[in-house]
Structure 1
Amino acid sequence: MERPELPLQQLHAFVVLAEELHFGRAATRLGIAQPPLSQQIRRLEDKVGHPLFSREPGRVTLTPAGRELLPAAQRALTDLTDGLAAARAVGSGQAGRLRIGFAASLALTVLPGLLRTFRERFPGVHLDIYEMTTAPQLAALHDKTIDIGLLREPPADETQLGFKTVLTEPFVAVLPSAHPLTAQRAVQVRQLADSPFVLLPRQVGPRLHDQIIGLCTASGFTPQVVQHAVEWQTVCALVETGLGVSLAPASIRRIRLRGVAFRRTEPSTARTRVAVAWRKSDQNPLVASLLAIVSQDPPDRH
């Protein structure tokens, strides 16, 4: 980038004098004496190569060169003022852009309240929201294509990312409405042993997938997985068709499908963790602002 030819101090002096057309009043506005103002104007005229003002006894007017320069000078000063204000707003966390990834099921629980609170406190911030499962969120955080992640079961061995738990919830059995187990208020996990399963593929959420498989293993069986689906909405839709059953975080009950029933599971001690994730090295003040909201106003835990 080329160095600006005209110093901003001289442009400022020029604009003020062009508005006042009086050296005394212009000097007063600038908070300087008249001789330094005259020097600034003469230096600017030397750079332009032409007089910018016509000086006559008791009268100062713009020359054609001055009239041509004035709009550009005013725009330059306005742009600088606006840019400084924008930079200060971004630097203080009052403006800018925050990119958030979220697991689809969290649109039913954590996400709405968190975004509503953030927008109320930081209306000048633009939010980019991306729906993605846990593994893609982790990759996007490392690639710096998102700033914040809302995900399930974060990895235990991650060193570059920080995680803060915002919610824990138990598991429920997801059943076709005609399934015999819907007659019960609670389902023993072992009672699902003879049913085919619909589950998320392991690659989109390894720890949650392993946790569900672990619940089945602890109950004495390995689930027969007949179909995978990337989103819980799709899992529920496939269960509705009678393709199989599933085990899912309790918030999935908010997905309303006429042909699907949800039942609490026993043993009920297992819980899945929802966390906010961020890069530990991120200096973006908006990240710190969102984390502060999570700390001050945590979502209700089930």
Structure 2
Amino acid sequence: MERPELPLQQLHAFIVLAEELHFGHAAALLGIAQPPLSQQIRRLEDKVGHPLFHREPGRVTLTPAGRELLPAARRALADLADGLAAARDIGSGRAGRLRIGFAASLALTVLPGVLRTFRERFPAVHLDIHEMTTAPQLAALHDKTIDIGLLREPPADETQLGFKTVLTEPFVAVLPSAHPLAAQRTIRIGQLADSPFVLLPRHVGPRLHDQIVGLCTASGFTPRVAQHAVEWQTVCALVETGLGVSLAPASIRRIRLKGIAFRGIEPSTARTRVAVAWRKNDPSPLVARLLATVSQDPPKRP
């Protein structure tokens, strides 16, 4: 047997009457006349199939059915109020869940500030953070498994994703501290021609990889890659062991390893781009909130 629906207006009228136990007082609180209140209660009793109130001259009391219904009616209205409030918060971007992908090196630069500011402004939003390199972030955005990406060197030919530059930063040379060039304050890229390199594999960040190789090519040599590493922390650790040298974004200088030296490079005009990425057709107000946070509080350059 199908359960009858209980109109919210009738439940509200029932609760007020159950608390006042007086039709006149309850009608006044509801802002209606007494006859419409009586009609709402009668319709609710018809749906329940039993009287909810004993009606006696000058006195109204709850029946056993009424006493049973009262706490459930209160819960129903409270749940509805909570649901409406939650829906308003999510609809306005003040609550919900935001899934963010980020390149590991950005934990050394833009990520902490962006997340801290966002959490201060929208504490009810749950942030689901995923560490991943650029290519997996792009795939995850297309697959809708993340909502926002923070990455390096976004592709130029992407049509479904939007990109906004967060900051740009120069490159530095990463050397073993015992390397002869570590004694210099700055070095020319061409001076690294005879050294083996530790680089990110191209598939995890094609444009950044090509940019680094291009810096070497412009200086007259093709880097001899001795080892690949997916994360910059690992690149630095391998450089420390003496496996090679590297060129890296300047924020990598915040990685503290005793056996490596970071040096400025010449020419020094090349910069790597950090961008926030999102799906252009994503209607989520949370995405708009985070993009606004990045725009209002641009990170400082390293």
**Structure-2-length-normalised TM-score:** 0.97
Letter in 2 for 1:176: P
Displacement of 1:232 in angstroms is 0.4
Q: Counterpart in 1 of 2:209?
A: 209
State how far apart, in whole Å, the 1-side matches of 2:119 and 2:24 are: 48
State how far apart, in whole Å, the 1-side matches of 2:244 and 2:67 are: 78
1:91 corresponds to 2:91: yes
Displacement of 1:129 in angstroms is 1.1
State how far apart, in whole Å, the 1-side matches of 2:298 and 2:133 are: 22
1:173-184 matches, within 5 Å, as 173-184=173-184
For structure 1, which segment, 53-62 or 78-87, has the greater mean C-alpha deviation from structure 2 after superposition? 53-62
Q: Percent same amino acid at aligned positions?
A: 88
Letter in 2 for 1:77: L
Q: Counterpart in 1 of 2:140?
A: 140
For structure 1, which segment, 91-100 or 272-281, has the greater mean C-alpha deviation from structure 2 after superposition? 91-100
State how far apart, in whole Å, the 2-side matches of 1:137 and 1:33 are: 62
Q: Counterpart in 1 of 2:14?
A: 14
The alignment partner of 1:272 has SS state of: strand
Q: Counterpart in 2 of 1:157?
A: 157
1:94-133 matches, within 5 Å, as 94-133=94-133
Displacement of 1:240 in angstroms is 0.7
1:1-302 matches, within 5 Å, as 5-302=5-302
Gapped runs of 5+ residues in structure 2?
none
State how far apart, in whole Å, the 2-side matches of 1:92 and 1:62 are: 42
Instruction: Give a deviation string over 1:232-272, Cα, whole Å, max 9, x none.
Output: 00110111111111110000000000111100111111110
The alignment partner of 1:154 has SS state of: coil
Displacement of 1:219 in angstroms is 1.1
The alignment partner of 2:83 has SS state of: helix
The alignment partner of 2:10 has SS state of: helix
Instruction: Give a deviation string over 1:114-169, Cα, whole Å, max 9, x none.
Output: 11111111122111111111111111111111111110000000111111101101
Number of residue pairs matched by the alignment: 301
Displacement of 1:4 in angstroms is 6.3
Q: Against the structure 1 CA distance between its residues 166 and 196, is the aligned structure 2 distance closer, same or farther, given a 3 Å change threshold?
A: same
Gapped runs of 5+ residues in structure 1?
none
For structure 1, which segment, 216-225 or 151-160, has the greater mean C-alpha deviation from structure 2 after superposition? 216-225
Q: Against the structure 1 CA distance between its residues 133 and 124, is the aligned structure 2 distance closer, same or farther, given a 3 Å change threshold?
A: same
Displacement of 1:301 in angstroms is 2.4
Displacement of 1:298 in angstroms is 0.8
State how far apart, in whole Å, the 1-side matches of 2:240 and 2:4 are: 67
Letter in 1 for 2:51: P
The alignment partner of 1:118 has SS state of: helix
Letter in 1 for 2:275: A
The alignment partner of 2:155 has SS state of: coil
Letter in 2 for 1:158: E
Displacement of 1:15 in angstroms is 1.3
Displacement of 1:186 in angstroms is 0.7
Q: Could you say what the CA RMSD is over the residues aligned between the two structures, in angstroms?
A: 1.2
State how far apart, in whole Å, the 2-side matches of 1:54 and 1:226 are: 90
Displacement of 1:3 in angstroms is 8.6
Instruction: Give a deviation string over 1:266-288, Cα, whole Å, max 9, x none.
Output: 11111100001111111111111
State how far apart, in whole Å, the 2-side matches of 1:217 and 1:15 are: 79
State how far apart, in whole Å, the 2-side matches of 1:105 and 1:216 are: 22
State how far apart, in whole Å, the 2-side matches of 1:29 and 1:208 are: 68
